Amino acid sequence: MAHVPDIAAPALDIDKIRKDFPLLQEKVYGKPLVYLDNSATTQKPQVVLDTLERYYKQYNSNVHRGVHHLSQVASEEYEAARHIIAAFINAREHEEVIFTKGTTDSINLIANVFGRGVIKAGDEVIVSAMEHHSNIVPWQIMCEDRGAVLKVIPMDENGELIMSEYAALLSDKTKIVSVAYVSNSLGTVNPVREIIALAHARNIPVMLDAAQAIQHMPLDVQELDVDFVAFSGHKIYGPTGIGILYGKREWLDKLPPYQGGGDMIKTVTFAKTTYNVLPFKYEAGTPDISGAIALGAAVKYVQEIGLENIHAYEEQLVNYAVAQLSKVEGLRFIGNPKHRSGAVSFLVDTIHPYDLGELLDKQGVAIRTGHHCAEPVMDFFCIPGTVRASFAMYTNKEDIDRLVVAINKAAAMLR
């Protein structure tokens, strides 16, 4: 039986943090909610809800082109949110931060504009074996359209990328590498510095799917020297419907536009349309103004608590979860990465994850079961799916303890 580490006095006051999140106070089937589906989406602190409300009650208005007061306030707040996020990821310029609908939208954007602006028939794109569907299918669609080829970095039994194979895949045909920073199905933290360095040695740009990284660890785009980063607001305590694409100016300036519409143009005639400068070039149409501003509020909330602190705390928490879960009879982890963040996937005996999930739910414990939009990972391990518990800064020891009790109870019923 594994040694159970204590959670050292955390730099953050979890009880206080939990009070900031109204939904955590809810009950499910009369039992206090244990919310362990944070990789799917996180709950929102009150300050995010207040920001949404203030927006709609005090200055809701379309942005950018209005001379009137409300439009000016809305435009300022919208751009202020961009500045907050640019500072958060340490972008050199705030114009490198594009508001999108979410990670999926951001990746599709880059896949599409690479397809139209860079990729020729026979060119190659590299992803990894542990990607979320959102970092596979956009590339498949683009590759099919352009006659390009999708290459896959394989992984080992622990759920770690085989870096020598990656190095061997890189070639003059490779036009972009796009990998998850952290795997949503396994919790693996990938060696992104090495991935980027190897690609850059051949002048190949790298996109990071940071959907499962941005809320768990500090991410500095300049220090990483990464070319593109995608993440979703709703996974970092912000609202649904908003996300971020970071891109280096040198790339975004030269790539073609994605969607066409209002705001992304300089002048339009039927004969010739010229495109606007960054960031507007990639923000066609009325953006999700309230979503962007509320995401700014969420990021500010995270900054106030400090990602370093969150990271340190969550690391202890994940270790505690791994240790406690190890004690469950018949439980095996899917993925045993050296660096793990945010989530643990597992199965118990031959119990179907779906059965386990249902009985956990009825005990007030919300986890996710299934393929986690990463079917190739499930195929690799020859399993129909896993049970995944995933964490946030407000997750506490009691959540883990109640998870373990609930698993034991469910397993006893299901065996």
Told to check if 132 binds its own copies by CB under 8 A, we report yes
Residue tagged 């969420």 (tokens): 298
Partner touching 291 among other proteins, its own copies, ligand PLP, none, CB below 5 to 8 Å by kind: its own copies
Q: Is 279 in the site for its own copies (CB under 8 A)?
A: no
Site membership for other proteins, residue 311 (CB under 8 A):
no
Q: Which does 35 bind (CB under 5 to 8 A by kind): ligand PLP, its own copies, other proteins, none?
A: its own copies
Nearer to its own copies, 216 or 234 (CB): 234
Is residue 108 close enough to count as binding ligand PLP by CB under 6 A? no
Q: Which is nearer to its own copies, 300 or 388 (CB)?
A: 388
Out of 50, 76, 194, 349, point to the residue binding other proteins (CB under 8 A).
76
Beta bridge partners of 268: 273
CA distance 213 to 320: 20
- Asked if 128 and 179 touch (Cβ cutoff 8 Å), the reply is yes
Q: Is residue 82 part of the contact set for its own copies (CB under 8 A)? A: no
- We find the least distance from the C-beta atom of residue 203 to its own copies, in angstroms, to be 26
**Footprint (CB under 8 A) of other proteins, residues 39-68:** 65-67
Interaction of residue 376 with ligand PLP, rule CB under 6 A: no
Taking the complex as a whole, the smallest distance from the CB of residue 190 to its own copies amounts, in Å, to: 18
Of 204 and 359, nearer to other proteins (C-beta) is 359
Residue 212 contact among other proteins, ligand PLP, its own copies, none, beta carbon within 5 to 8 Å by kind: ligand PLP
> Which CB sits closer to other proteins, 32 or 122?
32
Contact call for residue 260 and its own copies (CB under 8 A): yes
Instruction: Tell the smallest beta-carbon distance from residue 240 to other proteins (Å).
Output: 20
Q: Taking Cα atoms as reference points, which of 11, 87, 49, 39 lies closest to residue 391? A: 39
Stretch that binds other proteins, among 18-26, 117-125, 203-211, 351-359 (CB under 8 A): 351-359
Options 37-45, 149-157, 206-214, 352-360: segment touching other proteins (CB under 8 A):
352-360
Interaction of residue 132 with ligand PLP, rule CB under 6 A: yes
- From candidates 107, 302, 344, 347, binder to its own copies by CB under 8 A: 107
> Counting contacts by CB under 6 A, is residue 368 touching ligand PLP?
no
The contacts of residue 337 (CB under 8 Å, 6+ apart) are 158, 159, 160, 183, 186, 187, 188, 189
Q: Which does 241 bind (CB under 5 to 8 A by kind): ligand PLP, other proteins, its own copies, none?
A: its own copies
Q: Identify residues 46-75 at the interface with its own copies (CB under 8 A).
A: 48-49, 52-53, 56-62, 65-71
Site size for its own copies (CB under 8 A): 95
* Cα 192 to Cα 65, 188, 207, distances in angstroms: 40, 11, 10
Q: Identify which range of 173-181, 218-226, 303-311, 357-365 contacts other proteins by CB under 8 A.
A: 357-365
Question: Taking CB under 6 A as the rule, does residue 5 contact ligand PLP?
Answer: no
CB of 118 to its own copies, least distance (A): 14
Structure-token pair, residue 151: 């290459």
- Kindly provide the residue ranges of all beta strands, DSSP E only, lying in 92-222, ordered along the sequence: 97-100, 124-128, 149-153, 174-180, 206-209
Structure tokens at 188: 């693996």
DSSP state letters, 19-36: HT-GGGG-EETTEE-EE-
405 lies in the binding site for its own copies (CB under 8 A): no
Span 298-327, contacts to its own copies by CB under 8 A: none
> Where on the chain is the footprint of ligand PLP (CB under 6 A)?
39, 102-104, 132, 134-135, 180, 184, 209, 211-212, 232, 262, 285-286, 373
> Where on the chain is the footprint of other proteins (CB under 8 A)?
29, 65-67, 72, 75-76, 351-355, 358-359, 361-363, 369-370, 384-385, 409, 413-414
